[in-house]
Structure 1
């Protein structure tokens, strides 16, 4: 039997989320923008990011003597597509589209679409690298890329709809997330 080693998500994503949250708090403090709503949005973004990383890139497996999994890539849209998986990937990126205008100056659907695409592309490339280099368990899939990319602007649309509600607008930190 070959020796097998595995890195699980928790020992990596929890410290990473804490470091990112600390950096965000430090930046807010330096800018004089450290408010409870901004701290809460930063915390939500860190938990969301940790969840996405933990569920899409882990576990990382090392198996001595195993061969690379070059076949862990699907570049043909809708080939072997499972509709529940597509829906899940759309849903996973909806929060990204809702949170981006709250934590950044990204306040247009095309920019949210671009960021959603780039984040999803990064995840899929890392999944493929994990499969090839360390025999990881995920398949890089163009269907995931397309579904994730579509989820981000859908989330942004939900966020823009929420802006129509005066109660939501009142709770936004000054200057945060309002279309400009």
Structure 2
């Protein structure tokens, strides 16, 4: 069953953010665009490259009103230790959410049960708490922050302009489409 358009389930988790431990719940996300960026584990190999890419581009996400939440099944304590010891992870300014109870990983259907780890899942959540974008990658395939940002801008545009859709490779400022009978077979 697709999670697209579904409302996120209630949860409560602890994140390491700005040198502190903070609570994060579904209410935290309401009223703004958010990304839940699941990754398998702290102190690994592909994960820090992805999280650093997000950190490098974090200002661009904030500029369009998006908060990033990095999520793994590690604890918030492990996130702090990784942040304090890894040059790549030390750059992160967004919250790193601990999911040791596996609640979030199950809620978003990315839990690898036999390993107790999350798949590389990316979920874009709109201000109403509904999932608008889902992307799940194999463990060895890293994601691209700028492509994620492009998709978010498209989702934001579509949300703000009912009746319009964004074609493939759409970039902010480019033409959109208004689906109608007149377009059938002409694209």
TM-score normalised per structure 1: 0.23
Which structure exhibits the higher relative contact order, with contacts defined as CA atoms closer than 8 Å and separated by 6 or more residues?
Answer: 1
Q: Which has the higher helix share?
A: 1
Q: Which structure has the larger Rg over C-alpha atoms?
A: 1
TM-score normalised per structure 2: 0.22
